[in-house]
Amino acid sequence: MQISSGIFSDKGKKQENQDSLGVRLGSGSLLQTKGVAAAIADGVSSSEHGAEASSACVLGFLSDYFSTPESWSVKKSVEQVCTALNGWLYRQGDALTAAHRGRVTTFSALVFKSTTAHLFHVGDSRIYRIRQGMIEQLTVDHRTWISSEKSYLSRAMGVDTHLQIDYSRSALEIGDVYLLSTDGVHDFLTEDEVLAIVLSSQKDLNKATELLGRQALDHGSLDNVSCQLLRIDELPSQDVDEVYSQLTELPFPPDLSEGHILDGYKIVRELHASNRSQLYLAIDSDTGLHIALKTPSVNYEDDPAYIERFTMEEWVGRRIDNAHVLKVYEPTRRRRFLYHVAEYLQGPTLRQWMHDNPAPELEEVRGIIEQVASGLQSFHRLEMLHQDLKPENIIIGNQGSLKIVDFGSVKVAGIAEIDTPIYRSNLLGTKNYSSPENLADQPGSNASDIYSLGVITYEMLSGGKLPYGEITSNKSKINFKKLRYIPCRDHNEDIPAWLDGALKKSVSPGPENRYHELSEFLYDLRNPNSSLNFIDQRPLIERHPVKFWQGVSAFLAIVIFTLLFVSST
């Protein structure tokens, strides 16, 4: 991405300039994961510290936004930063008279990421877009008019503890010009005047912004005058060949066996192999430590979607630091092939543990699920979804500590925002553990991972059964509306009804009916929730077929004896 910009700010007829504005481009990888950010703020004149408020917002935003996790979406990143800034401004002022004595300011921001513009706005500063010779105001003034001449700000930064900020997004086009301005400019210029100045001075955006400010002053503006222009000169390439070339900069490793050395890692033995990857136990020649080395399968050497997911496994693993998630190491030597290095875990999978312990105690199951949830929560905090949580992807290590492994299906919100010609399917994971929305190739949410965790919990408590039975249909042909939850108590009578209710909610086919926070599910696994007391509404013939037919047989026997008795008399 390449942009051109121009900035102008002047105190005008006032004693002090209470406006602030600025723009920042992400450096290195941040240009791709965070993009370009611009902001403008107008300190409220009636506020004693308006200049300080506007400066704190712009400088704080342009600094803190690029410090948020790269995995976060633009929306979450900006909202978190703005919420923190708003709280700081509010606490600095007198809560009872914040609008007059505190630090209050308008705030409007733009983030260009990939091929999308993200707009954030509170107050009466404005953002315009000029495209193909036409100008459009993209923000709405948060101003309440008392009369034709009198008005006040209905929303601003620093006024309240709760910040309500407008958000919108739209596609970028090469040649788009965005204008951010304070009311000292746009209140004194018509849109036609703004358009004429910008179109006549596109080669020098600094000159264009100064012309806008000077003309506003000439038209009678008594306020500070500030504005900035941003023009889209180049957007990230969407050429599939170019993207594939970038993905294949590192070749796939050759076949490895005991004794082979790859970039300083000596292969000890193969731990696991599938049609998608190979996993080896190796020794780091520098440290002497045993590590796990994962290599891609040559079956996918020409599959860009596979290569992207494989490289993302390392990207994800290096950003998560949790005792219950596999630790992925950053290579300390120059890499000549595509692979990644992780800690070596010795121990069985949860699947093997379940085979060895078909009837675990309830408290033991709770302890396991709480560890898995702790690891899963570290993904969710970074706006990541694991999307392939199953017993095979959970390793039980030393002293019973569990770790989540395999990040090949992880979805990262911040990466998903980056446009690519490569098709990214949501149809990942494993059939019996994937949520209905994932199986329908629809975007998932935290509730999707909670569904998978609920299935695992049910499976451990039921002796290896599944909440809807074994799903044999193809992923795309599964009709979850026709599936009926099989109570866990059918397989384990020791399970209390309230716990069965929690399990049912966790695996509800509709994500809106599931838990949305892991903490809620964990709480209900230990504490009765009266709203979830499970009532089995299935017909008796489905719930207890043996008892049903015993009852029918008894009834028919009574009828036969009655008929015989009547006929004999």
**Each residue's pLDDT tens digit, 290-343:** 999 999 999 999 899 999 999 999 999 999 999 999 999 998 899 999 999 999
Q: Alpha carbon 536 to chain centroid distance? A: 36
Strand bridging mode 394-396 / 384-385:
unpaired
Asked whether the predicted pLDDT for residue 174 surpasses 70, the reply is: yes
Asked whether the predicted pLDDT for residue 221 surpasses 50, the reply is: yes
Phi, psi of 67 (to 5 degrees): -100, -5
CA distances from 532 to 157, 233, 311 (A): 41, 56, 42
Residue 436 identity (one-letter amino acid): P
Confidence of residue 151 (pLDDT cuts 50, 70, 90): confident
End-to-end CA distance of the chain: 100
Average pLDDT over residues 451-478: 86
Distance from C-alpha of 33 to C-alpha of 19, rounded to nearest angstrom: 29
Distance from C-alpha of 73 to C-alpha of 133, rounded to nearest angstrom: 32
Q: Where are the alpha helices (DSSP H) in 201-326?
A: 205-218, 240-247, 304-317
CA distances from 561 to 70, 456, 555, 564 (A): 78, 51, 10, 5
Whether residue 376 contacts residue 445, with contact meaning beta carbons closer than 8 Å, is answered with no
Whether residue 151 contacts residue 124, with contact meaning beta carbons closer than 8 Å, is answered with no
Confidence of residue 149 (pLDDT cuts 50, 70, 90): confident
Distance from C-alpha of 484 to C-alpha of 468, rounded to nearest angstrom: 6
Asked whether the predicted pLDDT for residue 268 surpasses 50, the reply is: yes
Distance from C-alpha of 430 to C-alpha of 432, rounded to nearest angstrom: 6
CATH 2.115.10.20 fits 350-537, yes or no: no
Residue of 91, 220, 98, 207 whose CA lies nearest to 159: 98
Asked whether the predicted pLDDT for residue 61 surpasses 60, the reply is: yes
Whether residue 27 contacts residue 97, with contact meaning beta carbons closer than 8 Å, is answered with no
CATH architecture of 244-343: 2-Layer Sandwich (3.30)
Confidence of residue 94 (pLDDT cuts 50, 70, 90): low
pLDDT value for 96: 45
Phi, psi of 295 (to 5 degrees): -120, 150
pLDDT value for 428: 81
Confidence of residue 548 (pLDDT cuts 50, 70, 90): low
Average pLDDT over residues 481-509: 93
Whether residue 85 contacts residue 56, with contact meaning beta carbons closer than 8 Å, is answered with yes
pLDDT value for 366: 98
pLDDT value for 98: 46
What average pLDDT does the structure give for the chain?
91
The count of C-alpha atoms lying within 13 angstroms of the C-alpha of 292, restricted to the half-sphere facing its C-beta, is: 18
pLDDT value for 97: 54
| Comparison of pLDDT for 372 and 397, the residue scoring more | 372
Which residue is listed with tokens 């979607």? 305
pLDDT value for 553: 78
Which residue is listed with tokens 């800690």? 343
The token duo for 540 is 């008796």
Average pLDDT over residues 260-275: 95
For 114-203, strand residue ranges (E) read 116-122, 126-131, 134-137, 143-145, 151-153, 166-171, 177-181
pLDDT value for 150: 80
Least confident of 134-138, 377-381, 564-568: 564-568
Residue of 138, 126, 107, 127 whose CA lies nearest to 42: 107
Least confident of 67-81, 339-353, 410-424, 524-538: 524-538
Distance from C-alpha of 542 to C-alpha of 537, rounded to nearest angstrom: 10
Give ∠ CA 407-411-415 in degrees, rounded to 5: 115
Give, in words, the CATH class of 2-234. alpha beta
Asked whether the predicted pLDDT for residue 162 surpasses 80, the reply is: yes
The token duo for 80 is 């978190």
Strand bridging mode 402-404 / 384-385:
unpaired
Is residue 15 helix, strand or coil?
Answer: coil
Which residue is listed with tokens 């709760």? 162
Return the exposure string of 494-507: e unless at least 16 CB atoms fall within 10 Å of the residue's CB, then b. ebeebbbbbbbbbb
Asked whether the predicted pLDDT for residue 457 surpasses 80, the reply is: yes
Average pLDDT over residues 404-417: 94
